[in-house]
Amino acid sequence: MELIDKVRELRGQGKSPKEIARALGVPPSRVAPLVRAIAAESPAGEAGEVVGSWVNTGWSVGLTADGWVDEAPAEDGTNGTVCVLVARKHGWDKFLVCGYLIDTYCLGVKNTVGPDTMDERELRRFRDYFFSDFPGWQEAPFELARELVLGSVEYARGLGFEPHEDFAPAEGHLGEGKIAGTVSFGRDGRPFYVAGPNDDPRKVLRQLERAVGKPPAFGYVIV
């Protein structure tokens, strides 16, 4: 069996690129381009029109976002963590769904879900679960959802951080073309790092110092 067929089989089981590389005993660098190729030939590449996109309320805290509406912009402790969910038509009664967990202040895409196929009932239930850590969610124009995800990736790369490895198969769900650039990332105009449970804070801080200099060029919180 060819390597790409093995990757396709494991990806179909829901395994991440890192898990696939470990299972096959090959470097992640060999798996990543194969995952991207498989994503391009998968239903994600054939997905229909966008039928819904959503973002958590409070998404705009600390950001400059010209022309977009946040239904609950008050400070709510999200610390730049934003969830974005996008559904496309898939067949006559199904949807292809991708979710993105992003850090708009520093690290960009931290995790993704999908693309997964759901019916309308499954999508409603998943949406409630996906946003359950936030005060609420709101419908968002696809242009905003797309800019929050792709813009955060662009911002993080400018600081030296790449998106989570699972972003590759979910990237195509957002379509092609440049973003408008109506959202300015970072907290109040500067990088702000909030340490997460799976982070290496020292590594992140060293990279921020290389990218922008020492504080107060950036801020950080490590609990």
The pLDDT, as a whole number, for residue 44 is 43
Structural domains of the chain, count: 2
- Are 118 and 184 part of one and the same domain? yes
Q: Which domain holds residue 218?
A: 48-223
Count of alpha carbons within 13 angstroms of residue 197, beta-carbon side: 0
Which 3 state secondary structure label does DSSP give 36? helix
Sequence-distant (6+) residues with CB within 8 A of 83 are: 55, 56, 99, 100, 101, 102, 130, 131, 133, 134, 137
Please check whether residues 115 and 22 belong to one and the same domain.
no
Instruction: Give yes or no: residues 175 and 219 share one domain.
Output: yes
pTM of the model: 0.79
pLDDT at 156: 96
d(CA 116, CA 211): 36
Q: Quick one: pLDDT at residue 170? A: 87
Query: Both 125 and 204 in a single domain?
Result: yes
Which tens digit of pLDDT belongs to each residue from 4-14?
787 777 776 65
Query: Counting beta carbons within 10 angstroms of the beta carbon of residue 77, is it exposed (0 to 12), middle (13 to 18) or buried (19 or more)?
Result: exposed
- DSSP 3-state assignment of 196? coil
Whether residue 158 is found in the same domain as residue 189: yes
Check whether residue 115 and residue 163 sit in a common domain. Answer: yes
d(CA 203, CA 188): 23
Give the single-character DSSP code of 163. Answer: P
Residue 76 and residue 10 share a domain: no
> Rounded CA gap, 101 and 195, in Å?
15
Identify the pLDDT of residue 45.
44
Instruction: Say what the pLDDT of residue 190 is.
Output: 94
Q: Do 93 and 7 sit in the same domain of this protein? A: no
Give residue 27's pLDDT. Answer: 82
Q: Are residues 204 and 94 in the same domain?
A: yes
Whether 86 and 8 map to the same domain: the answer is no
Per-residue pLDDT of the chain (223 residues), as tens digits, is: 688 787 777 776 656 677 788 888 888 778 777 776 666 555 444 558 899 999 999 999 999 888 898 887 766 556 899 999 999 988 778 899 999 999 999 999 999 988 888 899 999 999 999 999 998 999 999 999 999 999 999 999 999 999 988 888 888 889 888 888 899 999 999 999 998 888 899 999 999 999 999 999 999 998 7
**Does one domain contain both 139 and 124?**
yes
Predicted pLDDT of residue 216: 93
Asked if 8 and 87 sit in the same domain, the reply is no
